[in-house]
Amino acid sequence: MRSRQSEGTHAMNDLDSAAIGFVGLGNMGQPMALNLAKAGFRLTVYDTRAERTRPLADLGATVADSLADLLAGVGIVVTMLPDTPDVASVVTGPCGIEHLGRPGLLQLEMSTIIPSASKRFAELLEARGMRYVDAAVGRSALHAARGESLFMVGAHDADLVAVRPLLEAMGDTIVHCGPPGSGIAMKIVNNFQGNVQAQITAEALVLGARLGLSVDRMVEVMSSTLSVNGFLTGYYPLKALTGDIEPGFALRLANKDLSIAVNLARELGVPVTAGAGAQACVEAACTGYGDKDVTALLDAAADAAGIVPPRMADA
């Protein structure tokens, strides 16, 4: 059986270019790029914060001085950026893919952005003989570090074949959701549900704490009933319920995702009354906690209730 590294290297030989460009080395992008480097892919990386490129350089990646420098020598450009305007600057900016990309180049877009923007980028690049895949990323930065991300992919069949070796090096689950734009649409729906659960879970735990209930018993009971959710069983006990609210996934980014979903629902005439209420709470919590972890919703809810944030017994 071939090693993961040899599989990655072999797969790259079948692509238009052996070189992969990676733009955006934040909490998710850096571990994903590191997994590509460890799997044997030849990388050129770029981030506006130079210190983020150093771990990649240590593994042999080339560090580009600019986006234009990166685009000059790659066949696939992976983008993992904070928001829609950041991706737009890479696609349509004066030194972006629209102007400097060559026919055949493929953009693998992995950021969480507005679905209509993703479709627009796909149409723009395809009109210029380039290719576009949106592969929205599920799960956390810890999963990304272990190469266990889930990818919700919007792509034409042939383009999914081209990027599959990269996705397999960065994750363990690939779900083809439809044509370009479908992947990010799926993530917006998924994150809408998840982030609403995060808010409701915080409120439930604070209500129980205010009633004098043990946090550990609440988690035990609610994990064994229809109240169960991933935040309750996995992420809150790992983060806020232990007193750790340093960002894994920043609250301000959760608010961005929820805002995209609520605004999209309004545009489509889809009632999301509970979701809109949760989004207003999440947005309010960003005052003071925006750069903390999404589970800091627990601390914000406790502040509003006038109590000390509840923690598990062994925290």
Q: Known catalytic residues?
A: 187
Q: Can you give the pLDDT at residue 149?
A: 97
Q: Mean pLDDT, to the nearest integer, of 65-88? A: 96
pLDDT (tens digit per residue) in 227-240: 999 999 989 999 99
Q: Can you give the pLDDT at residue 7?
A: 38
Between the CA of residue 80 and those of 51, 156, 223, 262, 284, what are the distances in Å?
A: 17, 20, 33, 23, 27
pLDDT at 5 over 70: no
pLDDT at 13 over 60: no
Report the SS3 class of residue 82. Answer: coil
Domains and CATH numbers, the chain: 4-180 (3.40.50.720), 186-305 (1.10.1040.10)
Query: Do 20 and 37 meet the contact criterion of CB atoms below 8 Å apart?
Result: no
Side by side, the strands of the sheet bearing 76-79 are 62-63, 42-46, 19-23, 76-79, 106-109, 131-138, 149-154, 171-178
Mean pLDDT score across all residues of the chain = 93
Please name which of 190, 138, 230 lies closest in space to residue 239, comparing C-alpha atoms: 230
pTM confidence score: 0.89
Q: Mean pLDDT, to the nearest integer, of 166-183? A: 97
Report the SS3 class of residue 27. Answer: coil
pLDDT (tens digit per residue) in 303-315: 999 999 999 998 7
Give the single-character DSSP code of 109: E
Q: Can you give the pLDDT at residue 141?
A: 87
pLDDT at 111 over 80: yes
Q: Can you give the pLDDT at residue 140?
A: 86
Q: Mean pLDDT, to the nearest integer, of 28-42? A: 96
Of the pLDDT bands very low, low, confident and very high (cuts 50, 70, 90), residue 18 is low
pLDDT at 51 over 80: yes
> Which two three-digit tokens encode residue 304?
């509003």
Helices in 80-146 by DSSP H: which ranges? Answer: 84-92, 97-100, 115-127, 141-145
pLDDT at 73 over 70: yes
> Which two three-digit tokens encode residue 43?
């990388």
Query: Do 176 and 283 meet the contact criterion of CB atoms below 8 Å apart?
Result: no
pLDDT at 6 over 70: no
Please name which of 157, 141, 152, 166 lies closest in space to residue 74, comparing C-alpha atoms: 166
Q: Can you give the pLDDT at residue 10?
A: 35
Give the integer Cα–Cα distance in Å for 309 and 10: 52
Residue type, 27: N
pLDDT at 14 over 90: no
Give the integer Cα–Cα distance in Å for 306 and 298: 12
Give the integer Cα–Cα distance in Å for 253 and 295: 12
Please name which of 243, 242, 232 lies closest in space to residue 203, comparing C-alpha atoms: 232
Q: Mean pLDDT, to the nearest integer, of 19-34? A: 96
pLDDT (tens digit per residue) in 243-254: 999 998 999 999
Q: Mean pLDDT, to the nearest integer, of 172-196? A: 97
Contacts of 179 (CB under 8 A, 6+ apart): 154, 155, 156
pLDDT at 25 over 60: yes
Give the single-character DSSP code of 232: I
Query: Do 138 and 190 meet the contact criterion of CB atoms below 8 Å apart?
Result: yes
Give the integer Cα–Cα distance in Å for 135 and 145: 17
- Residue 188's CB is within 10 A of a number of other CB atoms, namely 21
